[in-house]
Structures are given as C-alpha cells and as structure tokens.
A = this chain, B = another copy of it.
C-alpha cells in the first residue's frame, strides 16, 4: 500500500557485483554503483543499507552461486560417471578461469584477499564456501573410489583438499598473468596424477 520499487533488486545486485568484481571493495565508490545501476543514492541506501551491507549481500550470493555450480556439476549421478563428472568440473573451472581475459579473477578470491584479514563476515563466509567445496569434491572422490577409478588406498579428504588447492591456485596464477593454455594444462595434469587403482586391486563394480 504505497509506491512500489521501480527497479529489480536482483538486477541491481548483479550490476553492483560486477562493479565490486572489477574494482574491489575499497576501490568501488557508491557513486559508481549508483551510476551503473541508474539508481539514486536514496533508493540504494534505502534498499540495501550501507556500502558494507551491500557488499556482504553481493559476496554472499557469489559464494552461494559457486557452491551451487559445483553441486550441480558434481553430485547426483551414479558412481560410474563420477570420474567423468570430476574431470568435467575441473576442466570447466580451468576453462572459465582461462576465459577471464581481463583478469578480474574470482570475487571470492578477490574479496577474501582484500577483506578476510579485517572483516569477520567475509572471512567466515569464504571459509564456509571452501568447506562446502571440499566436501563436494570428497563425495565425488568417494564415488570414484567405489567405482574403482581412484585408488582405494588414498585418503579422499586429502585428495579433495589437494584438488581444491589446485582449483583456487589456477584462479590465482591466472590472475597473475599465466597464459590460458597453461591453465588448462594444469587441470589436465591434476587429473592425470590422481592415483589410479593398481590393476590387481581394481574393482569391476
């Protein structure tokens, strides 16, 4: 029973995200966001609160999206497809990173790098995301082991942690200017060095 919002909140968050993504938290002005979204400051502050709250909102959505993306690509299939799903996911992240030609990198890494030291909310959220990603990777590695695509003797948690480090590492070296070909090579090499079962212990499932 009053005047309704004239803008789409989700769309505004996307535009704000792109801005934070490109220039970081401290490097982005609220005026920039107002300009980019076409909103006045009144609407902006009325809808989202201050700069910090807006960033937290954007950062939270980004984290959710990353985990959802991983969950969508990794879980829910039969054990037979586990290794293929894992490979596809790792290569997908590599390709995605390699395609980031202007080196904005990932807002998760960028936000954590800039703020984790000072902002407990950002620190906690990024830790939560890392945990979720590691759990997803571990589930998939478990499935690979059940199907005999990865050596039973290996610790799934350790391999998951290693893969997560590789994924985030590709992001880091990509931002630092390593060429795209090397990035996809890293993904392939990581998959290639995963311990395969020796033939005598391999399960036929």
CB within 8 Å of B: which residues of A? 22-24, 26-27, 102-105, 108-110, 112-114, 116-118, 123-124, 126-127, 129-131, 134, 155, 157-159, 161-162, 164-173, 175-178, 182, 185-186, 188-190, 193-195
Q: Which residues of B contact A109 (CB under 8 A)?
A: 113, 172, 176
Known pairs A123-B177, A158-B185; list 18 more (Cβ under 8 Å): A22-B117, A27-B118, A103-B117, A103-B123, A105-B113, A109-B176, A112-B172, A113-B113, A113-B175, A158-B186, A158-B188, A161-B186, A161-B189, A162-B166, A162-B190, A165-B169, A168-B168, A168-B173
Please classify the interface of chain A as helix (H, G, I), strand (E, B), loop, or mixed, using the class held by over half of its residues.
helix
Q: Which of B26, B117, B193 contacts A162 (CB 8 A)?
A: B193
Measured in the bound complex, the distance between the Cα atoms of B114 and A23 in whole Å is 7
